[in-house]
Amino acid sequence: MASAVDVVQQIGDTAGVFAFAVSGALLAVRKDFDVFGIAVLAAATALGGGIVRDLIIGRIPPDAFTDLDYLYVSLLAAALVALWRPPRETGRWYRRTRRLRLTRWLDIADAIGLGLFCVFGTRTAYEHGLGAPSAALLGLVTAVGGGVIRDLLAQRTPMILRHDTDLYALPALFGSVVTAILLHENWYRGWTALPAAAVAIVFRLLALRYHWRAPRARGSLPR
């Protein structure tokens, strides 16, 4: 029988896959991709970070190829986004409003996936024998990897590399470090995993709300 921690891990992984798939599908809609492109971008966003993590820790083939439930969840998210119909309104104001609305939902879905994946990615790496610092770094890779792949496929500079975007990697790193400390001190339980994810999610949402950004190099010129 699965332990409570494993159940929380499964639920968290599934919720993270769904959230990241929604963010990828919403970006595909913004880029005017067809339904196949929406499905591809959703799956790449949802599964990319976990695949990179699994390859690094030697889990071959990665979970995304052995447990197809994750793929089905990402395709379900893509289908829901593709079938969603906004009100049939026209005009420049409406198009601008709809774009802003899509961006807001994309950011929220991405923040949820980021927070969940940084925690459960760290735990997966730690359970495979990595030390706490290395596990935290792999938790970060799990959290941001799918977003990087999403942005590259959509022909955007990844958010973690851009100076004009609100803090992205730092909230994920913070959640990963908190999780690694909990694991190292043997304080990690099912009920402690969710607050750790919530901290990262709230951190990211606050960064979006108040436009917290990392400092640039001294002497950088405005663009």
Backbone angles phi, psi at 88, to 5 degrees: -80, 85
Q: How far is CA 222 from the centre of its chain?
A: 29
The verdict on residue 221 lying in a domain is no
The verdict on residue 216 lying in a domain is no
Q: What pLDDT, on the 0 to 100 scale, is given for residue 93? A: 47
Q: Name the pLDDT band for 167 (thresholds 50, 70, 90).
A: very high
Amino acid at site 63: D
Residue 73 token pair: 């969840």
- State which residues form the domain around 115: 4-84+93-209
User: Which tens digits make up the pLDDT trace of 74-122?
Assistant: 999 999 999 986 555 555 544 555 566 778 889 999 999 999 999 999 9
User: Which tens digits make up the pLDDT trace of 25-65?
Assistant: 999 999 999 999 999 999 999 999 999 999 999 999 999 99
Q: What pLDDT, on the 0 to 100 scale, is given for residue 181? A: 97
The verdict on residue 169 lying in a domain is yes
The verdict on residue 131 lying in a domain is yes
Q: What pLDDT, on the 0 to 100 scale, is given for residue 163? A: 84
User: Which tens digits make up the pLDDT trace of 193-204?
Assistant: 989 999 999 999
The verdict on residue 222 lying in a domain is no
The verdict on residue 214 lying in a domain is no
Mean pLDDT, the chain, whole residue set: 90
CA distance 68 to 33: 24
Q: What pLDDT, on the 0 to 100 scale, is given for residue 101? A: 76
Under 8 Å between Cβ of 66 and 102: no
Structural domains counted in the chain = 1
Residue 221 token pair: 């010129």
- Cis-peptide into 133, omega within 30 deg: no
The verdict on residue 218 lying in a domain is no
The verdict on residue 220 lying in a domain is no
CA distance 197 to 116: 5
